[in-house]
Copies of this chain bind each other. A is one copy, B any other.
Amino acid sequence: MEYIPQALSKVRANRPLVHNITNLVVMNTTANALLAIGASPVMAHAKDELEDMLKIASALVINIGTLDEHWIASMEKAVEIAGKLEKPIVLDPVGAGATRLRTETALNLLDVGAIKVLRGNLSEVAALLGEHGKTRGVDSTAYEKDKAKNLATAAAKEFNTVVAVTGPVDYMSNGKETYAIYNGHELLETVTGTGCMATAIIGAFIAVEEPLKATVSALAIFGIAAEKASEETKYPGSFHIKLYDWLYRIDHNLIKEKAKVERIEP
């Protein structure tokens, strides 16, 4: 997986401008995660500036965590414009399955056809595949190992995009190749927006690498940063802070030493 450290170097060298239309809870969190990894975040949702901003951006992150009718309209317009401008898009369908509005909004955004990566937890991705999984808000549901793996592959085929189903093990697939990543730490579940951070970091990597490699790189690096942070503290407030520190500190050696990426299909 030599491309993982190389992708990180490309992010840090290019400092891609990542345009985010994200939820109100994590705006600060994901902006700081993007800065720490070496990208340049901007948040902009006004319909009148979407085109201007997307023209200078290198990727778009859409996160529906605190959607409403105004924000949905912005997201739909942004996905359309980004598609025309051929800017890669990652979608985080926060809470899909918990409410019909979230499920439908995510599906509508996927229908436009320009989403390059979809990242969610098992119940969110399952809901989008019509399994009517009932999520508990933004939390992970009970983890079912094989289901997650199969779900990533099936959803990738269904939506014709890269799909990452994250949890204790992260699975990601483009419908042909499927990978598992065993990095990460359970303290991630004690801090809000860590899934959103992972999605935002995928946004930085799809600006410099093709979608599947970008997703593998982003999630491996994020998981390793979490592991290093957990070596310094066992409590959520401090862990959150150390997570930014380690996104900033992570380097080629650490990736080579710690990455646990497995190609499981084909």
Measured CB to CB, the residues of A under 8 A from B are 15, 17, 19, 23-29, 31-32, 35-36, 40-49, 52-53, 56-57, 65-70, 95, 98-102, 134, 136-139, 189-193, 233, 235-238, 240-246, 248-249
Point out the residue from B42, B137, B192, B240 that lies within 8 Å of A237, measured CB to CB. Answer: B240
Give the shortest distance, in Å, between A107 (CB) and chain B (any CB): 15
With A241-B240, A244-B235, A244-B240 known as contacts, the answer to whether A46 contacts B28 (CB < 8 A) is no
**Pairwise interchain contact A99-B52, C-beta atoms closer than 8 A:** yes
B residues less than 8 Å from A192 (CB atoms): 28, 31-32, 35, 41
List of 6 A-B pairs having minimum Cβ-Cβ separation, nearest first: A237-B244, A42-B137, A235-B245, A52-B99, A49-B99, A31-B192
- 17 A-B pairs whose Cβ atoms sit less than 8 Å apart in the complex: A25-B31, A28-B192, A36-B236, A40-B137, A42-B136, A43-B65, A44-B99, A46-B68, A49-B99, A53-B98, A56-B134, A70-B70, A190-B248, A233-B245, A237-B242, A237-B244, A238-B245
Q: Which of A28, A138, A189 has the most CB of B within 10 A?
A: A28
**Using Cβ atoms and an 8 Å threshold, which residues of chain B touch A100?**
49, 52
Report yes or no: A40 in contact with B240, Cβ–Cβ below 8 A.
no
Most buried by B among A17, A48, A65, A193: A48
Beyond A17-B136, A45-B68, list 8 extra A-B contacts (CB 8 Å): A17-B137, A28-B29, A32-B236, A36-B190, A42-B95, A52-B98, A235-B248, A237-B240
List the B side residues contacting A134 at CB < 8 Å. 56
Inter-chain contact B240/A98, CB cutoff 8 Å: no
Q: Of B28, B46, B98, which contacts A67 at CB under 8 A? A: B46
Min CB gap A227→B, angstroms: 15
Q: Within 8 Å CB of A235, what residues of B?
A: 244-246, 248-249
Selected contact of A48 from candidates B40, B69, B244, CB within 8 Å: B69
Q: How far is A28 from B191 in the complex, measured between Cα atoms in Å?
A: 9
